[in-house]
Amino acid sequence: MSVAQSEALTFECETGNYHTFCPISCVAWLYQKIEDSFFLVIGTKTCGYFLQNAMGVMIFAEPRYAMAELEEGDISAQLNDYEELKRLCLQIKRDRNPSVIVWIGTCTTEIIKMDLEGLAPKLESEIGIPIVVARANGLDYAFTQGEDTVLAAMVQRCPSKVEKEEEKQERNAIQKLLSFGRKNEEDSPETETEYGNHPPLVLFGSLPDPVVTQLSLELKKQGIAVSGWLPSKRYTELPVIEEGYYACGVNPFLSRTATTFMRRRKCKLIGAPFPIGPDGTRAWIEKICSVFGIEPQGLEEREAQIWANLEDYVQLIRGKSVYFMGDNLLEISLARFLIRCGMTCPEIGIPYMDKRYQGAELKLLEETCHQMGVPVPKIIEKPDNYNQLQRIQQMQPDLVITGMAHANPLEARGISTKWSVEFTFAQIHGFTNARDILELVTRPLRRNNNLKDLGWDRLVKEEAKV
C-alpha cells in the first residue's frame, strides 16, 4: 500500500450525511449509569424495534426505559401531546418513582415540530419529578452524540453552592423531625470536599464505575481531587457547578456538553487529549496538572510499564495498516493510539469533527505520526461510503474498523474488519484498559492467523474472487 507522505493534517468533507448507528442508542448505557433515572423515548415503532434489537435481552430485565410511540393520529396532530405524555409520566412515577425522567426526542418529533421543551416545565411542576429534554435524533446527530445532548441538558440542572446548601438544610430539617430530637449524623456540619491547592474540577463523560475510580485515583496521585463527575451515579448527586470551576471531558464526542459548561455555567474548559491508550492517558493527566500548576510525578515510568505489558499484542499489529470508516467519533483517539503501537493509518473517516474541542487530540495525533515516522492520515468528515469502499479496495488495509453495515461485505472481499460499536461499549479509558483496546483490534487478525494455520485462508480468498 503506497501512501504519499503528508507533513500536516488535512481535512475533507464528502457527502454531508451521517452513516452511523442511531443516537437514541445512548439510552443503552446512560440508563445503567444513572441508576435513579427513567428514559422515555418519544418516537415511532421503528425506534422501539431498534432499541429492542440494540439492547438485546435487557428488555426482559425491566430496564428503566420505555417508548412513547407516536401513531398516525399523533403525527397528523389530531391528539393532545400533553395529556398523553402526562399519562405516561404518571404511570412511570407510580410504577418506578425515578428521581428524573429524561425525554429523548427522535427524528419524528423533529419532523412534526413537537415542542418537548415547552411541554416539559409545565408537566414537571404538575407531577413533581424533574423532566430533562434531550434531542437525540439521527437527522442532526451521529451515533454517540446522543449522550452529548443528554449531558448538555443535565449541565443546566447541576446545582450551585447556594442550591446545594438549601437542599442540605431542608434535608437536615426533615431528619430532625423524623428523629424526634435524637442526635442524628445529619445534625453535624458536612465537611467540604478538599480540593488541595487547586480550583474545583468536574469531569464529564459516561464511563463504567471502575474506570471512573481508576481515572480519579490517577489524578489523586498527582494531588488533584475530582469534585464531581457528570453524569453521576444518581441524578440527585449531580456535581455542584459554579462560575470559574474547571471542566474536562473524557470522550471526544461531547463538544456540545463542553460548550454548555463554558457558555451557560461560565466554567473553564481544559482542552486535553482524551485518556484512551497509555499515551493519551498520560497526556490527559499532564494537561490537567499543567493548568493547575502541578508538576506531574511518575507518569513517564507508568506509561513505560503499560507499554511493556502490551508488547505481546503490539507485535501482532506493528507494521500493519488500519482504516477507519467512521461511526462513533472515537476514531481520532483510536487512530492515534494504534499509530503509537506501530500501525499506519492512511485515512480516518469521522461523522462529525469539532476541531476546537478535539484540538489537543489532533495535535497529539500529528506529533505521534512524526515521532513514529509514518504519514499523517487524511481526515474525512461525513465520508461517502461508496467512495470509501473504492479507496479500501485500492489500499487493501490490513484492518478496517467500520459500522456493522459494511463488515460482512468487506469480509467477503477478503478484508479483515472490526465493528466500531464494540469500542463504544468496551472499557477503553485509562492506563489499565489499553489492553482491552488491543484485544478488540487484534481479534480479527488472530482469527485470520488461525485460519491460515488450518489452510482455510485459500478457500476464503477463492470465495472472495467469486
pLDDT score of 126 more than 70: yes
Q: Which of 280, 337, 286 is nearest to 314 (CA)?
A: 337
Do 46 and 164 form a contact (C-beta atoms < 8 A)? no
**Mean per-residue pLDDT for 241-256?**
95
pLDDT at 185: 43
pLDDT at 5: 47
Question: β-pairing, 65-69 with 37-43?
Answer: parallel
How far is Cα 407 from Cα 403, in angstroms, rounded to an integer?
7
Distance of CA 375 to the CA centre of its chain: 28
pLDDT at 72: 57
Asked whether residue 1 is domain-assigned, the answer is no
Asked whether residue 271 is domain-assigned, the answer is no
Report how many domains make up the chain: 2
User: Which residue segment(s) compose the domain that 81 sits in?
Assistant: 23-141
pLDDT score of 302 more than 80: yes
Do 294 and 222 form a contact (C-beta atoms < 8 A)? yes
pLDDT at 455: 59
Residue 267 CB contacts under 8 Å (≥ 6 apart), including other chains: 202, 241, 243, 244, 245, 246, 247, 261
Asked whether residue 41 is domain-assigned, the answer is yes
How far is Cα 108 from Cα 139, in angstroms, rounded to an integer?
10
Helical ranges in 180-276 per DSSP H: 209-221, 255-263
Q: Which of 103, 110, 113 is nearest to 134 (CA)?
A: 103
How far is Cα 272 from Cα 257, in angstroms, rounded to an integer?
15
Distances (CA, A) of 312 to 161, 316, 321, 361, 449: 50, 7, 18, 26, 15
Asked whether residue 158 is domain-assigned, the answer is no
Do 334 and 437 form a contact (C-beta atoms < 8 A)? yes
Asked whether residue 8 is domain-assigned, the answer is no
In order, the DSSP letters of 284-313 are HHHHHHHHTT----SHHHHHHHHHHHTHHH
pLDDT score of 77 more than 60: no
Q: Which of 41, 32, 87 is nearest to 62 (CA)?
A: 32
Listed range (71-80, 184-193, 227-236, 387-396) with the worst mean pLDDT: 184-193
pLDDT score of 257 more than 90: yes
Instruction: Examine the fold and report which residue of 116, 141, 166 is the final residue of a domain before the chain moves on.
Output: 141
Do 41 and 68 form a contact (C-beta atoms < 8 A)? yes
pLDDT score of 85 more than 70: yes
Higher local confidence (pLDDT), 448 or 200: 200
Question: Hey, what amino acid is at 465?
Answer: K
Residue 98 pLDDT grade (very low, low, confident, very high; cuts 50, 70, 90): very high
pLDDT at 184: 46
Residue 190 pLDDT grade (very low, low, confident, very high; cuts 50, 70, 90): very low
CA dihedral of 106, 112, 115, 117, whole degrees rounded to 10:
20
How far is Cα 102 from Cα 24, in angstroms, rounded to an integer?
12
Do 413 and 464 form a contact (C-beta atoms < 8 A)? yes
Question: β-pairing, 246-249 with 228-230?
Answer: unpaired
Instruction: Examine the fold and report which residue of 141, 170, 198 is the final residue of a domain before the chain moves on.
Output: 141
pLDDT at 4: 41
Asked whether residue 92 is domain-assigned, the answer is yes
CATH of the domain at 91: 3.40.50.1980
How far is Cα 275 from Cα 203, in angstroms, rounded to an integer?
12
Listed range (132-146, 235-249, 255-269, 336-350) with the worst mean pLDDT: 132-146
Instruction: Examine the fold and report which residue of 74, 107, 141 is the final residue of a domain before the chain moves on.
Output: 141
Residue 462 pLDDT grade (very low, low, confident, very high; cuts 50, 70, 90): low
Which helix (H) or strand (E) segment is 447 a member of? Answer: helix 434-454
Q: Which of 73, 20, 3, 37 is nearest to 234 (CA)?
A: 37
Ranges of beta strands (E only) in 328-386 are 347-350, 378-381
Asked whether residue 11 is domain-assigned, the answer is no
Q: Which three cell numbers stand for residue 32?
A: 445503567
pLDDT score of 163 more than 80: no
Using left for φ > 0, alpha for ψ between -120 and 50, and beta otherwise, residue 326 falls in left
Asked whether residue 210 is domain-assigned, the answer is no
Binding residues: 22, 47, 107
Global pTM?
0.86
Binding residues for [4Fe-4S] cluster: 22, 47, 107
Distances (CA, A) of 441 to 339, 379, 410, 446: 12, 20, 16, 9
Query: pLDDT tens-digit profile of 1-56?
Result: 334 445 788 898 888 677 777 888 888 888 889 999 999 988 888 888 787 776 66
**Residue in this structure with the C-alpha cell 474545583, named with its chain if needed:** 200
Distance of CA 334 to the CA centre of its chain: 13
